Structure 1
Amino acid sequence: MDDEDGYFGKSVAATYDDASAGMLAPGVVDPTVDFLARLAGRGRALELGVGTGRIALPLARRGVPVHGIDMSRAMVARLRDKPGGDDVGVTIGDFATTRVDGTFSVAYLVFNTIMNLTTQQAQVDCFRNAAAHLEPGGCFVIEVGIPELRKLPPGQRVVPFHVSPTRWAFDVYDVATQAMSSNYVDVAEGRGNYQSIPFRYVWPAELDLMAQLAGLRLRERWEGWTGEPFTNESHRHVSVWEKPVNEGGEGG
């Protein structure tokens, strides 16, 4: 692990967009940007965990002023190298606690990034940090997967999600603590390179309670960015919590 950049140091940043190529497809990016641009309106957007700018850059091209927070200088350097990279302001720091100037119409965490915070307290702090940045009536948006515990038979903790001649990838779950890790073995010239990244999985109802503690209330929840209904068969959700216009709000 890179001490300065956490688990997203130079080696990960160099190949991050290639490894996540499917998430860069217009069919994935455009609905996300449409959704966030509607919530931003004429206001500003704050991305927690801005990374290489997959969403921040196209959102900024829509005319929405975007500011990002990220711990990884290596990932932000990749953002800066892209067209329009200088149009997105970035503050280096832990997005659970780092504050920036001004208020925002929307703050957002996409692509499971809430799980990069590996304790419940850090996730609660993140909600409070997002709420502190929102103007009254502003929204906090999270896109995150549903833990795939239904795939675990008794006694098993491992769920494979990619198997090929050059890469093996699997998640390991600890249902007692909600700790998990995504593990990768990349094979080149007959040799394997192993990497493990820790996460903390979190349930929708748990996120709603975190929002309440931060003075936010659930506004809507969908399976995806185009408004598909969220059901018990959904593998992910896009949830929107709103800061009440009365700043006291719930839990305030």
Structure 2
Amino acid sequence: MAVDHFAGPVAEHYDESSAAMSAPAVVDPAVDLLADLAGDGAALEFGIGTGRLALPLSARGVPVRGIDLSPDMLARLRAQPIAERIGVTVGDFATSRAEGTSALVYLVFNTVMDLTSQDEQVACFTDAARHLAPGGHVVVEVGVPDLQRLPPGERARPFSVSADRLGVDEYDVAEQRLVSHHWTLTGGHPEARSIPFRYVWPAELDLMARPAGLRPAGRWADRHRRPFTSDSRTHVSAWRKPGEGPEEPRVSRAAR
């Protein structure tokens, strides 16, 4: 059963703790890409959270809906301006069904890793394809597994070290899992939380998309659509649901 790791204080401080991800330099290129892919259609965000991308995408004129497991995160979304435009469904985005069909289904900021088994991640692609209109796209933004930076015999690697925050990823390479441990000082009070994830490789995502009838449509190193290389530490990947009309995906034209 899916577990809500973003309830209570986590949701309350989420926008503050991830403020860097809300900067225009980060948000704008992501919204540009998503709006290009949505075209004249609607978009559906899996793991919509507090609406960091859904709100500006909606302001761009794209009809947006979302699915999220956390009622507390959705409450933060509903408190935002123009949030009334966005329809939300409370549930597990690997299996839940939102109304209607979309031209775009997207997961950003490592959300696909919130699904902690391969079966759940495969089900997520199947669920995404069910929501797509023919010719629509699925987009996933996620980190490339950082195992090259993990010394032999070690299981943990810090990813954030500052005066008020320490973050450490603990890897289980045999099971392809990791647990992100967070220790923070909030208002002078120490807080600790640990969140499980399943990391996933780019080529593995292509295989997960295939049984859902989705075909690769593009892969970039980041939201700016820079080329993906062996040195890239993140990627933004797109898959297309076959439909009528030319097979060349809209994302290829937008990236030129």
* Shorter-chain TM band: over 0.9
Rounded Cα–Cα distance in structure 2 between residues aligned with 1:4 and 1:206: 22
Q: Assess, with a 3 A threshold, how the Cα gap between structure 1 residues 80 and 102 changes in structure 2: closer, same or farther.
A: same
Partner of 2:230: 232
Rounded Cα–Cα distance in structure 1 between residues aligned with 2:132 and 2:187: 50
- 1:105: how far off? 0.3
Q: Does 1:97 align with 2:111?
A: no
- 1:191: how far off? 6.6
**1:224 is paired with a residue of what secondary structure?**
coil
**2:31 is paired with a residue of what secondary structure?**
helix
Partner of 2:253: none
Q: Assess, with a 3 A threshold, how the Cα gap between structure 1 residues 144 and 189 changes in structure 2: closer, same or farther.
A: closer
- The within-5 A match list for 1:1-252 is 6-187=4-185, 192-245=190-243
1:48-97 deviation per Cα after TM superposition (whole angstroms, max 9, x unaligned): 00000000000000110000000101000001111111111000000000
**Contact map agreement 1:145 1:236 (CA 8 A) in 2:** yes
- 1:10: how far off? 1.7
Rounded Cα–Cα distance in structure 2 between residues aligned with 1:190 and 1:105: 45
How many pairs were matched up? 245
- 1:4: how far off? 9.4
19-28 vs 184-193, which moves further = 184-193
Q: Which ranges in structure 1 are unaligned for 5 or more consecutive residues?
A: none
Q: Assess, with a 3 A threshold, how the Cα gap between structure 1 residues 221 and 192 changes in structure 2: closer, same or farther.
A: same
Q: Which ranges in structure 2 are unaligned for 5 or more consecutive residues?
A: 248-256
161-170 vs 117-126, which moves further = 161-170
**1:177 is paired with a residue of what secondary structure?**
coil
Q: Assess, with a 3 A threshold, how the Cα gap between structure 1 residues 152 and 106 changes in structure 2: closer, same or farther.
A: same
Rounded Cα–Cα distance in structure 2 between residues aligned with 1:206 and 1:29: 27
What is the identity, as a one-letter code, of the residue corresponding to 1:116?
Answer: D
Normalised by the size of structure 1, how large is the TM-score?
0.93
1:211-234 deviation per Cα after TM superposition (whole angstroms, max 9, x unaligned): 001110001000011210000000
216-225 vs 186-195, which moves further = 186-195
165-174 vs 120-129, which moves further = 165-174
Q: Assess, with a 3 A threshold, how the Cα gap between structure 1 residues 83 and 150 changes in structure 2: closer, same or farther.
A: same
Q: Assess, with a 3 A threshold, how the Cα gap between structure 1 residues 189 and 38 changes in structure 2: closer, same or farther.
A: closer
**1:138 is paired with a residue of what secondary structure?**
strand
Normalised by the size of structure 2, how large is the TM-score?
0.92
1:95-124 deviation per Cα after TM superposition (whole angstroms, max 9, x unaligned): 000012211000000000000000000000
Rounded Cα–Cα distance in structure 2 between residues aligned with 1:100 and 1:185: 35
Give % identity: 56
